[in-house]
Amino acid sequence: MGEPAILVNAAGGNDPRVTVTPAHPFEEIRGADWRQIFDLNLVGGALLPCQVFGPAMKEQHRGSIINVASVSAHLPLSGVVTYSAAKAALLNLTLFLAREWAPYHVRVNSLTPGFFPGEQNRRLLFNEDGTPTPRGQVILGHTPMARFGVPSELIGAAVFLASEKASGFVTGIDLRVDGGFLSQTI
């Protein structure tokens, strides 16, 4: 078994207990629930893996770390303030490590997916008949490419960031694969 060369930190998730709704306002979010989301998305999901694998990468003077962020790190989406804040902190950690570990030839970047239908968000995006839900329609209307992403598009971006040959001089970026979602305004 060789030394670690690529680390992808892709943990992510939210909890209904921290989702802000009219029935559950922001001021009722408990600190313990807030910390749980930060522990998942930031601490256990990126900080600790970087602390475990980063030293070996620094010692061997090579490596690529890819932290998977979220469009909500840039524009907090309605209801998911805790998740959005944790992912924004992940972007900050990415920039910090990119600067600190660049002298060791360890590249640290983030990858921000737009909306890719998966098991955890399928009910949010699609009705049982496969048509977009009202929320899905709003997302598509805010996405200039007017569609959801497909996994191969995210995989290609990750391969680019992982490849020293393709992105050897790339560190500290946030590669957005979002169909233009974050470029859209009113």
Query: Rg for the chain (alpha carbons), in Å?
Result: 17
| Residue 174, beta-bridge partner list | 110
Residue 104 annotated in active site: no
Q: How many CB atoms lie within 10 A of CB 183?
A: 10
Q: Tell me the C-alpha distance between 99 and 121, whole Å.
A: 34
Instruction: Kindly name the residue from 4, 72, 80, 83 that is annotated as catalytic.
Output: 83
| Secondary structure class of 64 (helix, strand, coil) | strand
Nearest to 111 by CA among 162, 50, 62: 162
Of the CA atoms within 13 Å of residue 20, those in its CB half-sphere come to 15
Q: Tell me the C-alpha distance between 37 and 50, whole Å.
A: 18
Q: What is the set of active-site residues?
A: 83
